[in-house]
């Protein structure tokens, strides 16, 4: 009887151990899979979110181009909105007394930004777009560049306009920013085709 009991016990032990070791190898495999997935996600996330398109647009032209750049490059997008929105009267360049005329006549004007701040962490390239106002960047763009640090980031200015080139606006922004690696950038037609935009992006240096 004692022999039978010890035989049964030994049998239980063997079965128990086998079950246990089977479980642990499954668990190990599961852990491996989880580690692999995490590593894959890490790789994915490291290539995502490196490019940001920042833009200000009073009447929608620059917004359209900004959205196309974001779609081509897979970039995130951030809109600079004025705390006090520009009305049609504010934008009247024929009026010496309009808000935009006053602001553009005063290089130290810094209209307040109303949109929530954006974190620039992880971004390596920023396209920064705006309309040309009186041959320059709207002063709110200076508010923006003076509010952030662009160390280690390639900055690409682009503008839309009624015909004027980008002029010195990119240089003004670079000077006021005081950080970032600023490329020359350029003026883009508001109705630019995707192919032309791709060619412009590929030709940037």
Binding site for ligand FMN (CB under 6 A): 57-63, 91, 93, 100, 131-135, 160-164, 190
Q: How many residues does the chain have?
A: 205
Q: Which is nearer to ligand FMN, 155 or 188 (CB)?
A: 188
Question: Least distance in Å: CB of 98 to ligand FMN?
Answer: 7
Question: Least distance in Å: CB of 124 to ligand FMN?
Answer: 25
Q: Which is nearer to ligand FMN, 50 or 92 (CB)?
A: 92
Q: Which is nearer to ligand FMN, 51 or 98 (CB)?
A: 98
> Is the distance from CB of 138 to CB of 56 less than 8 angstroms?
yes
CA distance 46 to 70: 18
Question: Least distance in Å: CB of 99 to ligand FMN?
Answer: 9
Question: Least distance in Å: CB of 162 to ligand FMN?
Answer: 3
Q: Which residues pair with 131 in a beta bridge?
A: 160
Cα end-to-end span (Å), the chain: 90
Query: Which regions of the chain does DSSP assign to beta strands (E)?
Result: 51-55, 76-79, 125-131, 154-160, 181-182, 186-187
Q: Which is nearer to ligand FMN, 46 or 59 (CB)?
A: 59
Q: Which is nearer to ligand FMN, 22 or 114 (CB)?
A: 114
> Is the distance from CB of 144 to CB of 56 less than 8 angstroms?
yes
Question: Least distance in Å: CB of 160 to ligand FMN?
Answer: 3
CA distance 176 to 145: 7
């Amino acid at each position: 009887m004692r022999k039978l009991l010890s035989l049964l016990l030994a049998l239980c032990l063997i079965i128990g151990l086998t079950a246990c070791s089977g479980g642990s190898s499954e668990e190990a495999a599961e852990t491996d899979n989880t580690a692999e997935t995490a590593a894959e996600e890490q790789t994915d996330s490291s290539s995502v979110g490196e490019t940001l398109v920042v833009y200000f647009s009073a009447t929608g032209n620059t917004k359209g181009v900004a959205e196309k750049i974001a779609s081509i490059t897979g970039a995130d997008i951030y809109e600079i909105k004025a705390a006090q929105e520009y009305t049609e009267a504010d934008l009247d360049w024929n009026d010496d007394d309009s808000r935009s005329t006053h602001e553009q006549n005063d290089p130290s004007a810094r209209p307040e930004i109303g949109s929530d701040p954006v974190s620039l962490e992880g971004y390596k390239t920023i396209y920064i777009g705006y309309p040309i106002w009186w041959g320059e960047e709207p002063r709110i763009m200076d508010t923006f560049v003076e509010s952030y640090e662009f160390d280690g980031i390639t900055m690409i200015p682009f503008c839309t306009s009624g015909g004027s080139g980008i002029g010195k606006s990119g240089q003004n922004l670079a000077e006021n920013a005081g950080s970032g690696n600023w490329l020359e950038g350029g003026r883009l037609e508001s109705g630019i085709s995707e192919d032309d935009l791709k060619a412009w992006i590929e030709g940037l240096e």
